[in-house]
Amino acid sequence: MTKYLITGGAGFIGSNLARFLLDKGHDVVVLDNFATGKRENLQEILGQITLIEGDIRDRAAVDRAMGDATSATTRCAAVFHQGALGSVPRSVNDPVTSHDVNVNGTVTVLEAAKSAGLQVIYTPLCGAGNKPVREILGRIGVNVTVVPEQEAPDGNFPGCPKPNPEIREAFNAALEMAQSLMKKGQTPDLLLATDPDCDRVGIAVLENEKYTLNYNYNVACLCDSMQQKFSF
């Protein structure tokens, strides 16, 4: 079971995403100020979610929704950022507020996610992703541990006989590293792999003490029609 935060969870997309995650057995936290979201969208699942009424520009509210940054079991493992102030006419009539919510609010969510200290084991599978992926993750404050034997680009793929992030065998080395860290009391939130060209990705998320692989051809996603799952 994984805990997820949905900002703007009372909107049409956010509320349906909440139902999807609940159906998968996950814990869901919804942060919404109901400026445009509707309470009736959440009515039938109120007893199943944690609802925090607050604004994405309010760092304290976002931190509260994100959970305890020192605990992997109580903090949210990921954020689905759906919170925004829509409407082009509104942005024309009141550009300052639209900018404040959509830009500054998003920055607030990113900063809170950064402080939550996501722990990731990453393998570029001896491909081109090592430098750019680590740089991007580092910018947003993700703590990254790289699988050493699969770190350097090498077309012969030593230590990585199956460099395909869509199959479980590609995660064997990352899984061994995760299990070693767990014995030391450190639990990675997820395992991440990119293919040699760095245009496909697989993500294995910790669920019920097992890592479950989620992927599609271009981006990992939580949709039945676009994913395959393997429990390690």
* Res. 216: pLDDT tops 60: no
What is the share, in percent, of the chain residues with pLDDT greater than 70? 87
Q: What would the pLDDT profile of 17-39 be if each residue is shown by its tens digit?
A: 999 999 988 899 999 999 999 99
| pLDDT value of residue 204 | 85
Q: What would the pLDDT profile of 39-96 be if each residue is shown by its tens digit?
A: 999 999 999 999 999 999 999 999 999 886 555 567 787 888 999 998 899 999 999 9
Q: What would the pLDDT profile of 85-132 be if each residue is shown by its tens digit?
A: 988 999 999 999 999 999 999 988 888 887 776 778 999 999 998 888
| pLDDT value of residue 1 | 67
Q: Catalogue all structural domains in the chain, each as residue range(s) with its CATH number.
A: 3-115 (3.40.50.720), 119-226 (3.40.120.10)
Q: What is the 3-state secondary structure (H, E, C) of the chain?
A: CCEEEEECCCCHHHHHHHHHHHHCCCEEEEEECCCCCCHHHCHHHCCCCEEEECCCCCHHHHHHHHCCCCCCCCCCCEEEECCCCCCHHHHHHCHHHHHHHHHHHHHHHHHHHHHCCCEEEEECCCCCCHHHHHHHHHHCCCEEEECHHHCCCCCCCCCCCCCCCCCHHHHHHHHHHHHHHHHCCCCCCEEEEECCCCCCEEEEEEECCEEEEEEECCCCCCCHHHCCCCEC
Overall average pLDDT of the 165-191 stretch: 87
Between 180 and 226, the higher pLDDT residue: 180
